[in-house]
Amino acid sequence: MPELARPQSKLLIVGAGIGGLSAAIALGRAHQNVTIIEQSAQLGEVGAGVQLGPNVNHVLKHWGVDKALEALAFEPEAVEVHHALSGKQLARLPLAESFRRRYGAPYLTAHRADLHAALLAAVRAGGCADIRLNQRLQSIQLESFKALQEEGIKASGTLTVSTESTIDSKTTANTQTSETQVLDQQSCEHYSALVGADGVWSKVRDLIFSGQQSALKAQVNTKAGINSVVFSGDLAYRSLVLQKMLPAHLRLKTVKVWLGPDMHLVQYPVRGGEWLNSVLFLSPRLNGMANKSLSMDVLSALDWTINMSQEDKAANIQSILPSTCSKVQDTVRAIEAWSVWPLMKSNPLTHSSQMVRGSIALLGDAAHPMLPYLAQGAGMAIEDAFELGELFNNANYNSSKQHGLVESIETTLQRYATNRWKRCASVQSRALQNAHIFHASGALAWARDRSLELLGDKILDMPWLYGYQRTQSC
């Protein structure tokens, strides 16, 4: 039988983060004509770590990214959970061989820049996409966009996308600021569909969900509405240090988690074990945010890192020292430079329509922002991308088999959202739940610790999460 020609669409991905590059690989492999726009002047990632479960590594292997990544990543021996105050080990889950046997793929810890670079190399090697830097999405026009918004109907036709050229002033001479300037250049292009992989502050989400975001003020403890994002009140203090610069008793080969009231500390090696990534999470009672509210505008302008004075940072971090065990104290004292990230959260998705409107789909943090308390935000972005690519790859096959027609792009995107939203919602929910459990005190902390002591590895292992293998059906 002659092979059916696949429909090739002109697709735009907004954002070249982990999600955007993953989408480019997946859609490029599905023979789509892909352009990525990225507002930054340079491609890259911040200096911090990322944990990647077997569910994610199956996808990376399928794309051939595993070899490059494994050469740069680290495979921890185990996850070990301790009480941050007493120092007592509460639970241990063996990873390495044990995880490879159970799930058929490793559990890895990596530097985000290494993961990003491995994905970028795959995009380039496969000729998957045309990447355009210094281009920021401004607006999207769609023939029936108004009707789409008002009636929730499916729109078809071409998207007209306006972008503005930007220049990162960090790269210009004589400037110290990190702001991005907008140049006086705009351009308009037409695409069949658009994937918003533009992160937690997503402009695409803002545009297709009629500006809910801009009206919203982020406040500590504000209940998040559907698909809206709020500041959780928690701050993450992140650092990367060379293990050899640390005293021997603080060097690690495992993922260590220290749980205490209103705080937890997560540490793991990256870069073949040479570097140690540490993230100290403090809730509002300890991070000075208890009586403060920050507007979304202020938070989004910060673009992840908060410029907190060294004194305030030190004061917040020092506040945990009197009550914590000596290992936590020694670790915190040994690390000089911390960068501070505000943590955003959102209610879990409740419907597929929150991930798609007509020929516009959301992916990664743009679709389902989550607290990093399950270490799966980037993982979900990669899984999203894989699903999207597979559906584009099979669109012709599926539809021609059933109807003798090539299915519409809107149908493919709707199918993507339908297939993804429940899993992403489960991960979002579990991350929210973990915020309470990790930072608990009193009776809840007591119950948590006893459960971990009794059933530790069964609680820490999550087959529903790590055992997900969409690649198996491909």
Ligand X SMILES: Cc1cc2nc3c(=O)[nH]c(=O)nc-3n(C[C@H](O)[C@H](O)[C@H](O)COP(=O)(O)OP(=O)(O)OC[C@H]3O[C@@H](n4cnc5c(N)ncnc54)[C@H](O)[C@@H]3O)c2cc1C
Name the site residues for ligand X (rule: CB under 6 A).
14-20, 37-40, 50-51, 136-137, 197-200, 203, 236, 238, 279, 341, 343, 364-366, 372, 375-379, 381
Nearer Cβ to ligand X, position 434 or 451? Answer: 434
Compute the distance between CA of residue 274 and CA of residue 89 in angstroms, rounded to an integer.
Answer: 24
Q: How far is the CB of 385 from ligand X (least distance, A)?
A: 9
Q: What is the DSSP letter of 17?
A: S
Q: How far is the CB of 52 from ligand X (least distance, A)?
A: 6
Nearer Cβ to ligand X, position 358 or 379? Answer: 379
Q: How far is the CB of 442 from ligand X (least distance, A)?
A: 26
H-run or E-run covering 412: helix 409-438
Nearer Cβ to ligand X, position 50 or 105? Answer: 50
Nearer Cβ to ligand X, position 42 or 400? Answer: 42
Nearer Cβ to ligand X, position 57 or 471? Answer: 57
Cα dihedral sign for 436, 373, 416, 61? negative
Q: How far is CA 325 from the centre of its chain?
A: 31
Residue 342's contacts (CB-CB under 8 Å, 6 or more residues apart) are 231, 232, 235, 294, 299, 302, 304, 306
Reading the block at residue 100, the tokens are 């490879």
First to last CA, the chain: 21
Radius of gyration of the chain, Cα coordinates, nearest whole angstrom? 22
Compute the distance between CA of residue 207 and CA of residue 203 in angstroms, rounded to an integer.
Answer: 6
Nearer Cβ to ligand X, position 90 or 424? Answer: 424
Q: How far is the CB of 43 from ligand X (least distance, A)?
A: 8
Q: How far is the CB of 443 from ligand X (least distance, A)?
A: 28
Q: How far is the CB of 373 from ligand X (least distance, A)?
A: 9
Q: How far is the CB of 435 from ligand X (least distance, A)?
A: 13
Q: How far is the CB of 391 from ligand X (least distance, A)?
A: 19
Reading the block at residue 166, the tokens are 């930007």
Compute the distance between CA of residue 4 and CA of residue 161 in angstroms, rounded to an integer.
Answer: 31
Instruction: Find residue 348's DSSP bridge partners.
Output: none
Q: Is 238:279 a contact under the CB 8 Å cutoff?
A: yes
Nearer Cβ to ligand X, position 258 or 449? Answer: 258
Beta strands per DSSP E along 296-376: 339-346, 356-357, 360-362
Phi, psi of 181 (to 5 degrees): -90, 150
Q: Is 87:265 a contact under the CB 8 Å cutoff?
A: no
Alpha-carbon torsion, ordered 373, 338, 379, 166, to 10 deg: 130
